[in-house]
Amino acid sequence: MRQSEILFKTQKTYPKDEVAVNAQLLIKANFVNKLMAGVYSFLPLGFRVRSKIISIIREEMNSLGASEILMPSLHPKSAWEKSGRWEGLSKIMYQFQDHSGRDVGLGVTHEEIVALIAQGIIDSYADLPKYVYQIQAKFRDEPRAKSGILRGREFTMKDMYSFHTDEKSLDDFYEETKKAYQRVFERCGLKSYITEASGGDFSKNYSHEFMVETEAGEDETYLCRLCGFARNKEIADFRKDENCPKCGSGVLEKVKTVEVGNIFKLGTKYSEAADLNFKNNEGHLKPVVMGSYGIGVERLMGTAVEVHNDKNGIIWPEEIAPFKVHLLSVGEDKEDLQKFAEAVYNEFEKSGLEVLFDDRKKMSAGEKFYDADLVGLPFRVVVSEKMLVQDKIEVKKRSEKESRVLKVKDFIKEISK
């Protein structure tokens, strides 16, 4: 893609009204645009990162045998009454009346809605288990929206719901989901820790949180760096262990973390509220056993920025970078140099490389280098007069200091491996 053709311009300064590093960098580098606290637009580069994260999540959820659906954001009060959450979540849910006086709300999550859908479809044990997920906008009236895209008032969640005949079936799927979640976070360049958590709003039952260590996090977690054991603050404060209960040799260290995902064994709370029953093999009617599983898409993107940056800008993990290569044509806008840069660009495109071509005219080398560091693509490739005479390109990894001079062909071969 040609940089001159997309809606793109880096800002000269960091935004004054943002304290979070992710928001400062993403706004300055023109990935997102802030409309109001907790509400952001995704510009061409930011949209690509978000799409890549969504693709990774989709692949991993599909690998669990789950199928993708899409539920609405606008819900009638009646759907939320039986579970008691119209009242219970009234502080965080946007609730209002439409012009005809109907009570409606914007979805903060979808247990109630998905249970109503399943109620019309699931009749017998032969219909179970089933797993569905969606990647959809959630609205939450978050009291503190100061963490940039880590805590939006409107944000995208991948929420998955599972339906089972019994606890054993739920347990099996829950464990598979844990592994899939860890694959998602790893592919996004993040090391995650699983903590056992108290059920919060959703259940008194059983739940786990996936935590990533960063100063930007609003949660506190006790970690054992030796074996990777993690425990959330509430439970750690209650148990008061100093040594790791898992490996025995490490100590538990308190660190700041951000919760990128959360999984719950719901039991029958929402199925009972929605009359979601099935006939077991003896013909008895039983409530369906449910699980729910969330990942915050933009929170994941913001966390990657919090973890991977330096004083010059973002350093995108390869799999979620908006493009793999940033091709910079630097020097005076001479015709032979332009031709050379175009040829390199075409060769990259032909080989299927995802490349952002900084073909902007009347811009100094310094300005282009500055922007490239800020934007943070994994590879920077420079085409200049010096390279033109050698018929080569200068390649530098964003995460490294040294650059190398290579033949175009050799670089393509190397990077396509």
Q: Which residues bind ligand ATP (CB under 6 A)?
A: 109, 140, 142, 151-152, 155, 157, 200, 259-262, 294-296, 298-299
CB of 104 to ligand ATP, least distance (A): 20
CB of 267 to ligand ATP, least distance (A): 16
- The amino acid at residue 84 is G
Structure tokens at 73: 């954001």
74 class by beta-carbon count within 10 Å (0-12 exposed, 13-18 middle, 19+ buried)? exposed
Nearer to ligand ATP (CB atom), residue 142 or residue 272: 142
Residues contacting residue 135 through CB under 8 Å, at least 6 positions apart: 54, 57, 58, 68, 156, 157, 158, 297
Nearer to ligand ATP (CB atom), residue 293 or residue 357: 293
CB of 405 to ligand ATP, least distance (A): 43
CA distance 226 to 249: 8
Nearer to ligand ATP (CB atom), residue 218 or residue 385: 218
CB of 149 to ligand ATP, least distance (A): 7
How far, in Å, are 106, 147, 325, 368 from residue 411 at the CA level? Answer: 49, 39, 11, 21
CA distance 4 to 93: 42
Nearer to ligand ATP (CB atom), residue 110 or residue 396: 110
Nearer to ligand ATP (CB atom), residue 259 or residue 394: 259
CB of 225 to ligand ATP, least distance (A): 23
95-97 and 103-106: which strand pairing? antiparallel
Determine the Cα angle at 171 with ends 167 and 176, to 5°: 155
CB of 224 to ligand ATP, least distance (A): 22
Tokens 């569905």 belong to 132
CB of 109 to ligand ATP, least distance (A): 6
CA distance 417 to 394: 19
Nearer to ligand ATP (CB atom), residue 54 or residue 363: 54
Nearer to ligand ATP (CB atom), residue 307 or residue 372: 307
CB of 10 to ligand ATP, least distance (A): 25
Structure tokens at 190: 């993040």
Q: Is 348 helix (H, G, I), strand (E, B) or coil?
A: helix
How far, in Å, are 55, 82, 93, 131, 233 from residue 209 at the CA level? Answer: 22, 27, 22, 20, 12
Nearer to ligand ATP (CB atom), residue 185 or residue 357: 185
Residue in 108, 149, 194 with CA at minimum distance from that of residue 21: 149
